[in-house]
Amino acid sequence: MKLIKQTGRNIEKLYNRHLCFRKKHVEEKVRSIIDDVRLNGDDALIKYTSRFDGVKLIPRQLKVAEAEISGAFQDITPDFVADLKTIISNVSTYYKEQLKKPSKVKGYDGVLLKEEIKPLESVGIYIPAGTAPLISSVYMTAVPAIIAGVKRIVIVTPPNKEGRVNPYILAVANLLKVSEIYKLGGAQAIAALALGTKTIPKVDKIVGPGNMYVTEAKRQLFGYVDIDMLAGPTELVVIANRNSNVDYVVADLEAQMEHIGGMSILISTSKQLIQQVRQRIANGGYCIYCKNMDEAVEIANRIAPEHLQIMTTNAVSVAKEIKHAGAIFLGPYSPTALGDYAAGPSHVLPTMGTARFFSGLCLSDFMKTSHVISYSKKALEKVRAPLEKVANLEGLTKHADSVNMRFKL
């Protein structure tokens, strides 16, 4: 691991890593794919599936057949379903606690104000499967959508060279009763979900992780469709001191770098710990030495990481000072892998410093609100004069007229 100082170009690159993620050639390529899907629909999808996935399909083969979904259970290990049910229970329990009751405000006589909360009608979920199928992303995205009440949930995921979808992805979808699944990946999948084609009806929102082409497609199509966030490569910051278990620290840092492009950063007040870690992790990642825990917290907040593990003896106390992190793991027995797979909260989290203003996937991502306003004539009379003054100041006199009209004899 590379030892870097608290000041200088190297640490500034960490703080501003989002500036390196967008690439002009990716933007141009994605724009071309989106335009092609917009103009040519299914024909464009078939072309790119052949080009990028090496599979020749016809439009009706894009949708995974019910027989293929039910048949997936023949290709999975017998204990998988039991283990999966335990995990899904954890995720479901967490999100059920987020269910929100509509607010209702009664003002003076004749005024009723309230908030109507409704689920989105349709959501598309992108599940990567190019280098490795992200089976966990199925339940980490679909479960909160289901609990929120979304009626139509669509999964898109790249097919393998035989034109089939990973059986474990299909098995998880089947257990969650998600049956609309398409053999489609990359920017073209995002374009299909956002714009719609003859075979694939458009959705209202797209969630789920993906490579830089998928992320760029989400960025360009935001507005045609809602998205969860613009996520880059996964990342982990570990705050540790002389009391931290070096074996645990090394294992967690290495686990994060197992992902393509995954980044691990150790922030420690112990020179000895840093030396031990660097001896055992030769390539990849960064180490930052701090004189005290206040410095460590300040740096962690500036990095605003996707995952933050606090592996000090006073982890709870340190966590109180953390302002920016997608997910915070406390103590020696809460590794990031726990959050990735089984704890409950979704592993779809903000990266590249966007934890300063983005949150991890939550129930509200699958819901929207409408304001409901009801006034009696008497109540409207009470706000008539101030409303008229503001409308006239803005030069919108007909707004005032629309109110005054209701009081003409």
Q: What is the set of active-site residues?
A: 306-307
Quick one: how far is CA 255 from the chain centroid? 20
The number of CA neighbours under 13 Å toward the Cβ of 114 is 9
Q: Which residues lie below 8 Å from residue 390, measured CB to CB, with a gap of 6+?
A: none
Tell me how far apart the alpha carbons of residues 327 and 336 are, in angstroms, rounded to a whole number: 9
Kindly list the distances between the CA atom of residue 326 and the CA atoms of 9, 19, 20, 135, 297, in Å, as whole numbers in the listed order: 25, 19, 20, 21, 15
Beta pairing class for 180-183 and 111-119? unpaired
For residue 151, the 8-state DSSP code is S
The number of CA neighbours under 13 Å toward the Cβ of 369 is 14
Tell me how far apart the alpha carbons of residues 123 and 366 are, in angstroms, rounded to a whole number: 8
CA angle 67, 72, 76 (to 5 degrees): 165
Tell me how far apart the alpha carbons of residues 302 and 12 are, in angstroms, rounded to a whole number: 10
